[in-house]
Structure 1
Amino acid sequence: MSAPSVGRFGDPTRPAVVALGGGHGLSASLSALRLMTDRITAVVTVADDGGSSGRLREEMGVLPPGDLRMALSALCDDSEWGRTWRDLLQHRFATDGPLDRHSVGNLLIVALWEILGDTVEGLDLVGRLLGARGRVLPMASVPLCIEADVRTADGRREVVRGQTQVALTSHRIEQLRLHPADPPACPEAAAALLEADWVVLGPGSWYSSVLPHLLVPQLRAALVETAARIVVTLNLTPDHETEGMRAVDHLEVLRAHAPELSLHAVIADPASVDDVGELAELCAAMGCRLLVRQVRRGDQSAVHDPLRLAAALRDVVEDYLGDVGTPSGHRAAGT
């Protein structure tokens, strides 16, 4: 991956950033990125098969809209107008009938897809309604199914199918697959990766929200080809699917699934790393810098603080611009 020049960034205060993920993890990333720039593209996992999204996907054969809705809500304009429409999109019905637990946003998005006949156009229209500081795109043009090979506690090998089941598994995940195996990427998402200055991968459910992006061939090729610098934001705590995994294990799994991927930096919260030295050594072996920063909320809850995460991401960007501006083109990376 060739290094972009300083001039490639144009206005360094408004870098073009693509954030990959899904669910609450992607929302956390977008809440931080919107404090840095308005040139944001969220590329969202489309494998959800549970809840309102799963029901709409099964009944209508559409992309699951829930994670797309959450990303749009995270980018809404910080005004009464934007917040009102965000709250409307996130509102869920509580009834004894068929609308129970459906969110208004999911129904609105699917209705626009049906009226317009174009997934991206429908999402862009909702984005305009929200005054969104960026764009939200699906990672693939068709609904996907996640399948994982897992190893049980007694050593048996089993297959777990569906994003919901993968996210809830308590067994050790060894390998991940998508069905269809060669899904068509959303063309606009692949183009955004090639045109980006920065790409942010994570936080989020590692196997069911983050890694699936690497299994879509056109997105994977764009991630390898892009001149953008790739930053990985590690999770604050393990979830069901990563129970027992350390910070270093997350990076090892990422490297195993995409060994050709070139990383620029890894951001980790100190309370989430049991051995900073080991993680720093792995980052050095992968050719990237480790930044250990407190990025969780001040109450120490397992939630990313938008201001702190934005500050860490801004440090990555500013340090890189300083590096390429030096006569040697780089300077030593610190922890």
Structure 2
Amino acid sequence: MTSTQPRPFSRKPPRPRSTRQINRWSKWLQPGLVVKRWLLISAAGIILVSLGLAISIKLTPIFFTFQFIGKLVQAFAEVFPSYISGPIAILIGLFLIWWGQSRTLGSITEVLLPDGDRELVDRLLTHRRLGRGPKIVAIGGGTGLSTLLRGLKIYSANITAIVTMADDGGSSGRLRREIGVLPPGDIRNCLAALADEERLITELFQYRFESGAGLEGHSFGNLFITAMEKVTGDLEQAIAASSQVLAIRGQVLPASLTDMTLWAELADGRCVQGESNITEAGGRIIQIGCHPPHPPALPKAIQAIEDADYIILGPGSLFTSIAPNLLVPDITAALLNRHCPCVYVCNIMTQPGETDGYSVGDHIRVLDHVCGERVFDAVLMQKTPPSQITQSRYQLNHSQPVTINREELRELGCRLILADVMVENHAKKLVRHDSAKLAQVLMKWYERVGSLIGYD
């Protein structure tokens, strides 16, 4: 009878301590740390100082010192042959160098990083690698943008998230109406996604108070940013201060500091005011706009687009997360005059009340209409649809996979990127963009195709 007991888990024996030390120290020799050159410069400085002192005191003490050392070495060489004394001196010298540098780095890391110099060298390598990454601008809002940022920060620290300021629902809407601040919700999500300690910061910023007069329903992150805005004087400075506190990779910028209110004209003739009311209205949207009609852009956001190596639109709600950014004329103009590739990440599923029955081509037409012309080079779409079980759950809410019509895309003259960028939660029957997969596909496309696209 075959035993059904699982085999015991076998674990590889830990590597010897000496091997771990060698691997740890070998990292300090890797190029790009910008440490070795400064150590060599310091050594050259010590030699020059010694020579300067010798010259200034006319070499008298130095001469006798070297004379004594020479006699000592000569006596040592008479006792021990040169083929023994030479290597011994070299080994002792190397040991002293290693010991001195080890103690120096140990003292530094003991204060800065209690986890040791292994973490320090890893952080230095990561910092240098990310610092050389491309300048990426991600434009959108909602949970889609934060999902994208969570994956992109692995490839570059030069990330700028440009966020819509049209949110008027939930905690953000209450703070906007009661205190008169710009909505902090989407900014909160982006800051948490770009933070080094992402999991802890996300849990903290997403924490919602369940009781308390005036606190119930508010998230801690929204209150934190609102308090920062009151302390610093405006939202831009509040975001900058929050970014320093959270040690984020990159920067988060509002598309505009103007108090924007979205409006939508529906096919049945209704005109709906407010972002949260547009989705709830349940009609087919034929026109989208905002009050005031031409909000000025944040200058830093325009500068980020002009300096970008790569621009990504979405993912996110078409009319309430992506389009509001494009309703800022200066941002649209900057996108039209860009000098880098731009990709639109389309949603996987249609959104009830916004994009019912939409295909990829319908999404493209809406963005073309809002901007006046095409502002991106390609559209990224999920390659395979979710499982039938998951689709049946979405159908209860009148949602379905966004359809792909290659002939339609060919007529629109839009390049299509098909890839597996989805994660499916079978237990909850939910689909979302996968941060790691999405960022990997986008960066591979940028490296392979982006450089081949020419711009005037």
What is the TM-score of this pair, normalised by structure 1? 0.86
Contact 2:305–2:334 (CA under 8 A) maintained in structure 1: yes
Matches of 1:246 and 1:259, distance apart in 2: 20
Question: What value does the CA root-mean-square deviation take over the aligned residues?
Answer: 2.2
SS for the counterpart of 1:249 is: helix
Structure 1 pair 269–67 and aligned structure 2 pair: CA distance change class (3 A): same
Q: Which residue of 2 aligns with 1:28?
A: 147
How far does residue 225 in structure 1 lie from its aligned partner after superposition?
1.6
Matches of 1:182 and 1:14, distance apart in 2: 34
Contact 2:131–2:156 (CA under 8 A) maintained in structure 1: no
Alignment partner of 1:290 is 2:419: no
What is the TM-score of this pair, normalised by structure 2? 0.64
Considering only CA atoms, is the larger Rg found in Structure 1 or Structure 2?
2
**Aligned partner (choices 157, 170, 173) of residue 282 of structure 2:** 170
Structure 1 pair 168–34 and aligned structure 2 pair: CA distance change class (3 A): farther
**Aligned partner (choices 64, 79, 86) of residue 183 of structure 2:** 64
**Aligned partner (choices 71, 74, 99) of residue 193 of structure 2:** 74
Q: Which residue of 2 aligns with 1:303?
A: 432
Q: Which residue of 1 aligns with 2:165?
A: 46
How far does residue 96 in structure 1 lie from its aligned partner after superposition?
4.8
Structure 1 pair 321–253 and aligned structure 2 pair: CA distance change class (3 A): closer
SS for the counterpart of 2:433 is: coil
Matches of 2:167 and 2:425, distance apart in 1: 31
Q: Which residue of 1 aligns with 2:259?
A: 143
Matches of 2:166 and 2:335, distance apart in 1: 20
Q: Which residue of 2 aligns with 1:275?
A: 404
How far does residue 322 in structure 1 lie from its aligned partner after superposition?
5.6
Matches of 1:178 and 1:64, distance apart in 2: 15
Alignment partner of 1:211 is 2:323: yes
Contact 2:349–2:402 (CA under 8 A) maintained in structure 1: no
How far does residue 274 in structure 1 lie from its aligned partner after superposition?
3.1
More helix by share: 2
Q: Which residue of 1 aligns with 2:220?
A: 104
Where do 1:111-122 residues align within 5 Å? 111-122=227-238
Q: What is the identity, as a one-letter code, of the residue corresponding to 2:337? A: E
Where do 1:233-248 residues align within 5 Å? 233-240=345-352, 241-248=354-361
Gaps of 5+ in 1: 1-10, 331-335
Contact 2:358–2:402 (CA under 8 A) maintained in structure 1: no
Matches of 1:291 and 1:279, distance apart in 2: 15
Matches of 2:265 and 2:204, distance apart in 1: 39
**Aligned partner (choices 161, 174, 185) of residue 55 of structure 1:** 174
Q: Which residue of 2 aligns with 1:333?
A: none
Matches of 2:274 and 2:402, distance apart in 1: 30
Alignment partner of 1:126 is 2:242: yes
Matches of 1:292 and 1:13, distance apart in 2: 28
Structure 1 pair 268–12 and aligned structure 2 pair: CA distance change class (3 A): farther
Matches of 1:20 and 1:251, distance apart in 2: 16
Q: What is the identity, as a one-letter code, of the residue corresponding to 1:22? A: G
Higher relative contact order (CA 8 A, sep 6+): 1
More displaced 10-residue stretch of structure 1: 32-41 or 266-275: 266-275
Matches of 2:310 and 2:279, distance apart in 1: 28
Gaps of 5+ in 2: 1-129, 386-400
How far does residue 65 in structure 1 lie from its aligned partner after superposition?
0.5
How far does residue 298 in structure 1 lie from its aligned partner after superposition?
5.0
Q: What is the identity, as a one-letter code, of the residue corresponding to 2:322? A: V
Matches of 2:266 and 2:366, distance apart in 1: 14
SS for the counterpart of 2:264 is: strand
More displaced 10-residue stretch of structure 1: 257-266 or 102-111: 257-266
SS for the counterpart of 1:302 is: strand
Matches of 1:273 and 1:18, distance apart in 2: 25
Q: Describe the superposition over 1:109-151 as per-residue Cα deviations: whole angstroms up to 9, x where unpaired.
A: 1111111113212101111222211111111112210000001
Structure 1 pair 95–180 and aligned structure 2 pair: CA distance change class (3 A): same
Contact 2:167–2:275 (CA under 8 A) maintained in structure 1: yes
